[in-house]
Amino acid sequence: MNKKADPRREANRRAQWNKGLAEMALLCLLRPAPLYGLEILDRLNGEAGLGVAEGSIYPLLHRLQGAGPVAAQWRAETENGRPRKYYAITPAGRATATAMVAEWQQTRARLDALIEETGDDKQRR
């Protein structure tokens, strides 16, 4: 019998996966140009669909500043006159992003092959 997945466990598992992917996605987002916190959050959740909690983005950015891949700078914005703190990727962060993306692509290719080979529940029945 096909047992229905527990939505809370599903959400928890997805959160764990996404937590691991958030750093890679964040560094990739910053590769073309610096972004401010809210913009990073909305793009991580919108484009990447990572479900990053609103309250966890600034602690994450703060930690990444300390670890080295990200640097921050306040800029005065002309559109609303309010200053925004922009985050830019550092050379070390760029190297980290490249390594993470390569690792992710290899893992994804291997997993795709495994999933293809083993099939899903319907095929087996």
Residues at the contact surface with other proteins, assessed by CB under 8 A: 19-20, 22-23, 37-38, 53-56, 58-60, 62-69, 74, 80, 82-85
Q: Which is nearer to other proteins, 12 or 56 (CB)?
A: 56
* Closest approach of other proteins to the CB of residue 93, in Å: 10
Segments in the chain forming alpha helices (H)? 7-30, 37-46, 57-67, 91-118, 121-124
* Closest approach of other proteins to the CB of residue 7, in Å: 20
Which DSSP state fits 69? S
Q: Which is nearer to other proteins, 49 or 68 (CB)?
A: 68
> Do residues 60 and 22 make contact, with C-beta atoms less than 8 angstroms apart?
yes
What would the two tokens of residue 63 be?
């930690």
Closest CA relative to residue 68, chosen from 91, 99, 52: 91
Q: Which is nearer to other proteins, 20 or 113 (CB)?
A: 20
Q: Which is nearer to other proteins, 63 or 112 (CB)?
A: 63
What would the two tokens of residue 77 be?
């914005």
* Closest approach of other proteins to the CB of residue 110, in Å: 22
* Closest approach of other proteins to the CB of residue 114, in Å: 25
Q: What is the end-to-end Cα distance of the chain in Å, rounded?
A: 11
